Amino acid sequence: MALGSNLVVTKQNYTVVVGRDARPSGPMIQELVMQTLVGLGIHVVNLGLSTTPTVEMAVVMEHADGGIILTASHNPKEWNALKLLDHRGEFLDAKAGEAILNHVKANDSVFSAVDDLGQITINDAYIDLHIEAILDLDMVDVKAIKKAKFKVVVDGVNSSGGIAVPLLLDALGVQTIPLFCNPNGQFPRNPEPLKAHLTDLSQNVIKQKADFGIAVDPDCRSFGLCL
């Protein structure tokens, strides 16, 4: 089975990129997902703790057949889920999602023989690669940003954004003040970065005399700003 747009088996081996946010259940569920893929003869590129945009980019750079992000987005830490990507690093559309559900309901997966199991490759460099790709964008004026000498408070909701966002800002020469950037999965606020949930960030922007504040959700796909 492939996680592409049509789910038609046409290759000898498939590769799937897997990453997760910092939820307490993440490591456990990621192992279940990866070992299931291995049992199906699918190779896995394990990004470990990562962001949804980073996994999307990694699928393309790895020429993978799909990707899986273990995250429940802005839901509480007790929740977890699978976000599925196709070979373009894009979320599956309704048709592809329905095809997967039908495949699961049919229960017709065939596990591989012991000599044909998939392999897991660990690659923890993709957040750095993602940052490099952002810095290379024509629309990002690195010199101008560094010259501005911004001071920014970052609310990483104690998940993967608490790693990725400060690293990006550091590369841009921004003075970063971390707030809730310990990726332990213990969300200190409602994970959805809406105005009503960003009181601590707003107060710290004022206290630190920062130019603005950035808040993200646990998988770093949504963000909010405090000016």
Q: What is the pLDDT along the chain (227 residues), one digit of tens a residue?
A: 444 444 445 567 899 999 999 999 999 999 999 999 999 999 999 999 999 999 999 999 999 999 999 999 999 999 999 999 999 999 999 999 898 889 888 887 889 999 999 999 999 999 999 999 999 999 999 999 999 999 999 999 999 999 999 999 999 999 999 999 999 999 999 999 999 999 999 999 999 999 999 999 999 999 999 88
Three-class secondary structure of residue 213 per DSSP: strand
Cross-strand bridge partners of residue 153? 177, 213
Residue 92 to residues 6, 79, 109, 161, 215, Cα–Cα distance (Å): 10, 21, 20, 23, 27
Q: Which of 5, 25, 73, 222 is catalytic?
A: 73
* 212-216/223-226 β-pairing: antiparallel
As a whole number of angstroms, the distance between CA 92 and CA 37 comes to: 18
5 is catalytic: no
This model's pTM is above 0.85: yes
Q: Are 78 and 69 in contact (CB under 8 A)?
A: no
Full set of structural domains in the chain with CATH: 14-128 (3.40.120.10), 138-226 (3.40.120.10)
